[in-house]
Amino acid sequence: MYSIIIGISLGLLIILGLRLLKKLDEIIIYGLILSGIGFLYVGFTWSDLKSFIITAIQAVFFLFIAYFGVKRSVYILAAGYFLHGLWDLAYDLFPDNHLIPPHYDLFCLSIDFTMGLYLLLVQYRLSRNTSTTVVS
């Protein structure tokens, strides 16, 4: 339970920090974060070749989702965060799941879902604002 609370809190701190740094392009930063979190698993699993290959493939997969999310649609980026959260849960089903720190799955899932929800909210508000027209 603590891992979820810490994950949500950290996700909210990241969101707040990026909102305060208004000169940064938030979408690019969120893309960089998504591409980076996939590679954390590679660092955890380098000692086991089979796990290393699987996590390297998922890291590249999330790198491309991040790229297309930045280039094409925030919805793709948000979907990438949700998919990564599901990856965090699914990794517990792998035989060598002991390579990942304890409770990392719930911790990372909660950060991923917090940022994914935030991105959906931002995109929804942007699309709502641009679709509203004022008639004079």
Residue spans of the domains in the chain: they are 26-124
106 phi and psi angles, rounded to 5 deg = -70, -35
CA-to-CA distance for 78 and 133, rounded, in angstroms? 27
Tens digit of each residue's pLDDT (9 = 90 or more) over 43-83? 999 999 999 999 999 999 999 999 999 999 999 999 999 99
> Could you tell me the pLDDT band of residue 134, with boundaries at 50, 70 and 90?
very low
- pLDDT score, position 132: 54
Average pLDDT (1-10) is 93
CA-to-CA distance for 123 and 79, rounded, in angstroms? 12
CA-to-CA distance for 65 and 109, rounded, in angstroms? 17
Give the residue among 99, 11, 20, 23 at the shortest CA–CA distance from 55.
99
Output the CA–CA distances (angstroms, integers) from residue 72 to 25, 31, 85, 136, in the order listed: 15, 12, 21, 33
